Every structure is written in C-alpha cells, then in structure tokens.
Chains A and B, each alone.
Chain A
C-alpha cells in the first residue's frame, strides 16, 4: 500500500478506479475514498460529494477513511481542498486526520504560503456601450496621431535624403531592392500572365458574339497597362515584401534592436524606413512594366489559341490601342502603390509591441492596411487621371 507519495508507488497495470462513498453516522459522516486518485483516472467531480453530503442535512462533522486508497496526487488534493471549502460554507467541521500525512502537508502548504498580493486582474464590470465607444474614439485619435507622426518623420527623413544627409547603409538599399524587386519577378510574372489570360478569355467570350475578337487586344492591353499590371504587382508586393518589412522591423522592436539604434542617435526612420521606402518606390514601377508585358502576353496567348487571331495582328492591335498617356498612368499608380506598401509595412513594424504575438499582428495588419489603401488609391487616381485629361 502506498498512500504517502506517488514516486514510490509502483505503476499498476490494472489500477483500481477512484471511488467515493459516504457513511452516515447521525451527525458524523465519513467519506470513504478508495482506488487510485490520480490525474490519469476519471476522477469523481466535486459535485458528486456535494450531492452525497446533501443527503445528510444533519451532518456537522466530516471525516475521511482512506484505507482503500491505493494512490493519489494533485487530483485528490484539489478534491479535498474543494471539499474543505464546501464544508466551511455548510458549517460542517472538516477533520483531515484520516487523510495521508503527505496530503495534509500539501494542503497546509497551499494555505500557508504568502501569495503575491497584486496578482490577477481585479474583476471589472463589462464596459457599457458608451464607454466602449469613447474608448474606441480615443484609440482612433491616438492611432491617427501615430500615423501623422510617422508621415511627418518620414517626410523629414526624405528631406535629409534629398539633401544627402540621411544616415543609412547603401548596401542595405541595394539588398532590399534586390529582395523586393528582382526576387519578385517569377511570382509577379506568373500572376500577371494568368490575369492577362483571364481578362483575354472573358473578353473573347463576349466579343465573339459580335465577331469583334480582335478587340480582345485593346481590352487586355488597356486594362493591364492602365491598372491591372500595377495593381497585381502592388498586391503581390504587399503580401510578399510589406509583410516582410513589418515582421523584420517588428522583430527588431521586440529584440530591443530599435532602442539600440536610438541610443546611438541613429534614427530608425532614416536607417530602416527610408531605404525600404526608396527601394519600393524605385522597384514597383519597374515590376509594373514587367507585369504589363506578361499580362499582354497572357492575353495574346488566349487571343491566338482560343480567338484564332494571328500573333502579329494581336500585337499590332495592342500597339494601336495603348498610348503614352496610358503607360504614364500605370507608372504613376505603381509608384504610389509602392510607397503605400512600404509605408504600411514599416509603420506597422514600428508600432509593434514587444511580444511574438505582436509581430504576428503587425504582419497581418501591414498586409491589410496596404491592400485597403491600394484600392482606395486606385479609385482616387482613376478620378484624378480623368480630371486632368490623362485618360
């Protein structure tokens, strides 16, 4: 028999399940505990003991009989602790003498150790609708302030760059340009080619009804050069590069690397954000041109294979349809999108809290922010281009 400690207790292959019974003797009741009270067993719930006790309303004293107990661990300790609590509320004296000595010691230990006073959050009532509304409004004001500050500092850093006084590593700039630009070629190319094919296929189906399949070239060419090329590039970059920026800067925040820069008097705005902004502003238009070409090729593939147009006719028609004004629109849009992706990534990275979870949130938030603002910018730019007569 081994009541005392679990370590000396041999593991039985056929452990008896824990049992609990109640012997009532008038005012005095005895709880008979038997079997193995271990965490790997299906332990009786406290509710069961409560029901048993409720059957003896006259009880004033509770004792334990553990002769049939074959083993125990925290499972029994918490059960007995709960039972003691129960007895106090019912005014029943709880006599623990019948319990194994080790268990009594453990119960005593949890009671007697000084607990750190301020642990746990004070229970607060759920905030009312107005409190939440006010809190959200204050948060909004604060986050707007942070964004303004970011753009203010960003503008100052850009000015220092133009004056040739910005402190950052030029090797960093080249590396980021390569990672954001050249390394993105395969994925941007693939997505653009497929989007071009989709546009071409839809156009071909509709225009075939009028026998005007040759205009597939106009449709795909214009849509791609004016908007889709830049948009596809920007969205790929938001997921690929913007997220990487946020994760990178966020991790540096967690690791106190940003503090280390600041204490050396190096502005993280210049050292980290500026090269990333410059790299994307430079690379996004270039990627967009590449995306335009691949998009047109995708359309041409569908136009020739499905629509039966000769390749030279398709390309000539494309050439006729696209003017310089369209190309300029696309490039301006791409530059703006690039700036948005870089700014979202860096902003969320800089705002990142000091935990692993915060880095995850920053990354998600960077992508979402970038895509939302890209779509807004696309709408605004379309209106502006129309107003200035570029379209």
Chain B
C-alpha cells in the first residue's frame, strides 16, 4: 500500500479495536487512565511512550490478560471484558501476540511451538500442521529450523519465531511487544519490514508497542502517545504529523529526541 493510498484509506477503514475510557493498573497502583482511541482495520498502530509508561499493560488489557478498572475494550464491536469467559476465549484466539522475549515454550521445538495452537483448535492431520509450521517459519525467514529448540537460536531469531507462532492461526490482529528491543539495527530493521510486508499481504491489523523512533516513523500509520507522569494519553495520530504539528510539547520532544525547538527554527 502506498502512502497516498493509505491516506485515502484511513478515513474509510472500519474501526477494529476501540478503547473507551479505559483505566487500568495493578493492585492499587494506577498505570494509565482515560484511554480512548480507535485502531483501524489493516493499520499498523503504534503504542508509544517512554519506558515504564504502561504500554505493555495496555496491551495485556486489549489481549484479554488483564481486566481494566473501568471502561470498555471493543473488539470488532464486542466488549471484551463484558463477555462470558468462553466467548472472550474465542475472541482472544483471533489475536496473535509476539511477546518481548518471544515467550516460546522452551520445552518444545520451534515446529511444536507453532503446531500447538493448531493442535488445539483445528482438525488438521499432523503432516498438514507440520506443513503450516514450515510455511510460517519460511514467512519469517527461518525455514528449516523447525527441529531446533528455543534455547538453540539467537534472540532475534526467537522473536521472529514468536511472530511465526503468533500467526499460526491466521489472526485478525497481531500484537508486537517491543519487537526491536535488544536487536541490532539490521535485525530490527528486518523485523519492521516483516511487519509491513505481512500487513500488506495479509491485511492483518498490527498493534506495535515500541519506543524506537526509527521503527515508529517507518511502520506506523497511526499511533497513540502514553505519558508516564500524567498517566494518560497525550496525543493520537500519524507520528509524522504529530512530530510536526502536535500542540503537545512532550509529544514533539519524544518524537524528535528532545530537539523539537531546534527543528522548529530550522
């Protein structure tokens, strides 16, 4: 999808995920409050903000792991946290999540990692599942690694397998928790490209948590900025637009590495 096409697409793309007045936290500690934003179908949506501002916590809420204190999460129109556990389970299965460390099941080979969701939710024959696992591994550039254990591959490879596993059930939404954290610039770049390619070819909605500016400007169609001090969102919109025109100084500072004023002069 070219930029122009995409600009045109934003207005018409239906809302896929909607957060309405979400407040959440752990125990008695508030993490974020009053979060209201839309994520459109087929977009790459970035949740950005400084370290410790609660990006991952918001993701845990949207993926069904942590109930919010108040507010609603609408997935395709259904309110995730007001549903029965069984229905919520069904909705959650349409999500794929790549965790920060990959979170591969360490006692299983890479192939078994990808096959497990298939075994649980499909009636495919074993060789069909193996074929799918091999295909997903090929999608992330790791064909032939199926019989390796997670401990035998590098961190960057683990993350890519995490993506492959997240895609096992052909999800409608893919979540990425800090995809480029701890990766060298080239691997990080490749992962970004992978996200874009997958979105373009599969039309999957991508929700990416990151604070890497390179990544943000490369992949994001739309974004929300979470602030750690005020514990709420400060802005939503395309990161390029936010960098140049956001009325909020903190957002501009974040997106320009604190050089907002210098840029403004130049």
Chain A residues with a Cβ under 8 A of chain B: 167, 169, 251-252, 255-257, 259-266
Given contacts A167-B120, A255-B106, contact A265 B101 (CB under 8 A): no
Given contacts A265-B89, A265-B90, contact A259 B99 (CB under 8 A): yes
Chain B positions within 8 Å of A260 at CB level: 97, 99, 103-105, 165
Chain B positions within 8 Å of A255 at CB level: 101, 103, 106
Which among A257, A262, A264 has the greatest number of chain B C-beta atoms within 10 A?
A: A264
B188: Cβ under 8 A from any A Cβ:
no
User: Bound state CA distance, A252 and B121, in angstroms?
Assistant: 22
- The chain B residue with its CB closest to the CB of A264 is B117
Q: With both chains docked as a complex, state the minimum distance between the C-beta of A173 and any C-beta of chain B, in angstroms.
A: 13
* Segment 85-112 of B: residues with Cβ below 8 Å from A: 89-90, 92-93, 95, 97, 99-101, 103-106
Q: State the 7 A-B residue pairs at the shortest beta-carbon distance, nearest first.
A: A256-B103, A265-B89, A260-B103, A256-B99, A265-B93, A263-B97, A264-B117
B162 to chain A, nearest CB (A): 8
**Contacts A167-B120, A263-B64, A263-B97; is A257 near B105 (CB within 8 Å)?**
yes
Is there an interface contact between A259 and B103, defined as CB atoms closer than 8 Å?
yes
A265 touches B92 (CB 8 A): yes
Whole-angstrom CA separation of A259 from B103 in the bound complex: 8
Interface residues on B, range: 20 to 34
Contact A259 B105 (CB under 8 A): no
> Which residue of the partner chain A has the closest CB to B177?
A256
Q: A256-B99, A259-B65 are in contact. Are A264 and B104 (CB under 8 A)?
A: no
Report the bound CA distance from A265 to B97 in whole Å.
12
A264: which B residues are within 8 A, CB to CB? 92-93, 116-117, 120, 169
A-B contact pairs, 16 of them (CB 8 A): A252-B105, A255-B103, A256-B99, A256-B101, A257-B103, A259-B60, A259-B65, A259-B103, A260-B103, A260-B104, A262-B65, A263-B65, A263-B97, A264-B92, A264-B93, A266-B117
Interface readout for B115-131 with A: 1 if CB under 8 Å, 0 if not? 01101110000000000
Check A257/B120 contact, CB under 8 A, given A262-B64, A262-B65, A265-B93: no
CB distance from B142 to the nearest CB of A (A): 18
Partner among B63, B90, B101, B119 whose Cβ is within 8 Å of the Cβ of A263: B63
Closest Cβ neighbor of B64 among chain A residues: A263
The residue on B at minimum CB distance from A117 is B229
Residue of B nearest to A172 (CB): B107
Expressed in whole angstroms, the minimum distance between the Cβ of B45 and any Cβ of chain A is 18
| A262 cross-chain contacts in B, Cβ below 8 A | 64-65, 92
Assuming A257-B105, A265-B90, A266-B120, what are 11 further A-B pairs, CB within 8 angstroms?
A169-B116, A255-B103, A255-B106, A256-B101, A257-B103, A259-B65, A260-B103, A262-B65, A264-B117, A264-B120, A266-B117
**Known pairs A167-B120, A257-B106; A263 contacts B100 (CB<8 A):** no
